[in-house]
Amino acid sequence: MGPRFVAKGSERILDQPGLASPRHQVRRVWLDNYRMTCHSILGFRRRAPKNGPPAVLRGGFLMAYRTTDKMRARKEARRQRLLKSAIRLFGRKGFHATTVPMIVRAANSSTGSFYFYFDNKGDVFAAALRDLGERISAALNRALRAAGPNVLAQMRAAVKALVAFLAENPEDARILIVESSGLGRRLEDLRRQIIASHTRSVEQALSAMANRLPPLDASVAASCWVGAVYEAVYRWLESPAESRVPASRLAEAIVRFNLGGIGAPAAISEDNGHDH
C-alpha cells in the first residue's frame, strides 16, 4: 500500500509506514495557503471594476487604488529628474557610453524607480527625444507669434529661434543631431518626426508665398531650408568654443543663405523683416 495523505485542518501530512519522524512528515500548510491566496486574488480580480481605478488587495478586501494630485506631482517630479539626468549624460557622453546605473546615480534615484518609469535605456532616450521635440515646438511657436502675420518674417524668426534653442542647449542639440542617428528604427523615426514637423511648416510657408517667389518645388526647398539649419548648427557645435561666432550671427548667416536659396534675397529687410 502506498503513502496516504491525511488531512488535518489546513494541513496535509504524508502518512507512510516507517516515515514517522518529523523530518519525514511533509507539511503542506504553505502550499495550501499559497493556493488559497492565489484563488482569492484571482476571484477578486474578476470582480474588479473594468473602467474604474486599479484594484489592490488589502487584508482580504478589495480596495480601489486612487492617486491624488500630490502623488501624481511627486511621481512626475521623479520621472523628470531621471529624464533630465539622462539628457545630460546622453548629450555629454553619447548614447552608447551612457548606462542605466549612470543615469540612476546622476538622478540620485534607484534602479527600481528607473524601471518603473522606463523600460530600458532606449526607452528613456525616446522620452528625451519626445521631450526635446515638444520644447523646440514651444520655442518656435513663441517666435512665430512674436513675428506677426508676415510669412517671411515668421520664417526668419523661426530660424533664429531654432538656432538660439540649440545653441543654448548643446546637450539637447547633440542628442537630436548626432546621437539619435543610427540607433534603430524606433529612435530614428522619432528623430525624423521632429525634423519633419519643421519641414512641413516651412513647406506650408513657401506654398503660401508661391506667387511671390520664383518657381520651386516647395517640398524639396523646405527640406533644404531645414537641413541647412541643422547642418550649420552641427558644424558650429563641433568647432572649438573659443572659435565659434555668436549664435545670433550664425542664425543671420543661415537666414541670408536660405532666403537666397528660395530666390528672395531682397524680400525681407535686414533690420525688421517686413516686406518691401
Per-residue model confidence (pLDDT) at position 268:
47
Cα(240)–Cα(262) distance, integer angstroms: 31
Strand residues in 136-182 grouped as ranges (E): none
Distance separating alpha carbons of residues 248 and 167, to the nearest angstrom: 9
Model pTM score: 0.68
Q: What CATH superfamily classification does 121-261 receive? A: Tetracycline Repressor, domain 2 (1.10.357.10)
Helix, strand, coil percentages, rounded to 5, for the chain = 65, 5, 30
Per DSSP bridges, beta strands 55-58 and 4-8 are unpaired
What is the C-alpha separation between 10 and 3, in angstroms, rounded? 19
Between CA 164 and CA 135 the distance in angstroms is 13
Positive or negative, the CA dihedral 130, 132, 133, 134 is positive
pLDDT of residue 125: 93
The domains spanning 69-118 and 121-261 adopt the same CATH topology:
no
Distance from chain centroid for Cα 240: 29
Phi, psi of 59 (to 5 degrees): 60, 30
CATH top-level class of 69-118: mainly alpha
- Per-position pLDDT tens, the chain of length 276: 444 444 444 444 444 444 444 444 444 444 444 444 444 444 444 444 445 555 554 455 555 556 787 888 888 899 999 999 999 999 899 999 999 999 999 999 999 999 999 999 999 999 999 999 999 999 999 999 998 888 888 899 999 999 999 999 988 888 888 888 778 888 888 888 989 998 999 999 999 888 888 888 999 999 999 999 999 999 998 889 888 999 999 999 999 999 888 887 554 444 444 444
Give me the pLDDT at residue 119, please.
Answer: 92
- CB atoms closer than 10 angstroms to residue 10: 10
The residue whose grid cell reads 539649419 is 229
Domain ranges of the chain: 1-15+27-47+55-66, 69-118, 121-261
Position 135, amino acid: R
- Rounded Cα distance, 209 and 58, in Å: 65
> CA 179, CA 115: separation in Å to the nearest integer?
22
Residue 216's alpha-carbon distances to 158, 190, 199, 224, 267, in angstroms, are 21, 28, 15, 12, 16
Across the strands, what pairs with 23?
none
- Cβ 168 vs Cβ 89: under 8 Å: no
**Which DSSP category does 243 fall into?**
G
